[in-house]
Structure 1
């Protein structure tokens, strides 16, 4: 775990912030170093397209944990499923797929 001004950070957390080069970044934490006050972030989106898909080091003070978001509809779930596939997160993919199947069963039960 690591502490910054916003919250306690841990591996797997989704974060946004500025890289050491000043790029805006959204991604998830792969690892952290308490001593160096650095986090390694797998970049999912950035204003510098060359960093997308790479892991970069960011200063702990320059990242902010993104709030957990409750998914409201099937289209949001499909987008997140694509994101889970692109990041290779099998557990998240399975969880999201289960939610889509639950929605499908609920709709079929109403017919």
Structure 2
């Protein structure tokens, strides 16, 4: 599997926790990766860096985000992770979407319905 730093992945930990996040660092010699967790079936793992075996990871496909709410959610993640470059890219994308309008209507977007760490329901 060709996973590299900054790739978004889903993985299972040794404790059988399902986690979703991005690769923060890798140790190819030992076959492990450190993943910054943004979602998990165990709330205590969210916001932490978890170490998982590389064979237990699945790289997530790259998606385009053409709905303002999607980009705003990603901006929240960029702020949380203090990724200034990604924040700037996302704000440029948001500005373009606001100027040109979204490529898809909100009705085509399948809401996921979750509560972010700030306690605000997102749909």
Name the residue aligned to 2:77: 83
TM alignment of 1:1-111, pairs within 5 A: 7-106=1-100
More helix by share: 1
User: Which protein has the larger Cα radius of gyration, Structure 1 or Structure 2?
Assistant: 1
| Separation (CA, whole Å) in 2 of partners of 1:41 and 1:19 | 10
Question: Scaled by the length of structure 1, what TM-score is found?
Answer: 0.85
**Is there any run of 5+ residues in structure 2 with no aligned partner, and where?**
102-123
- The DSSP-based 3-state class of the residue aligned with 1:58 is strand
Question: Which 4+ runs in 1 deviate beyond 3 A?
Answer: none
**Is there any run of 5+ residues in structure 1 with no aligned partner, and where?**
1-6
Post-superposition offset of 1:17: 1.2
RMSD between superposed Cα atoms in Å: 1.1
Question: Scaled by the length of structure 2, what TM-score is found?
Answer: 0.77
Q: For this pair of structures, how many residues does the alignment match? A: 101
Name the residue aligned to 1:4: none
Q: Which has the higher contact order (CA 8 A, sep 6+)?
A: 1
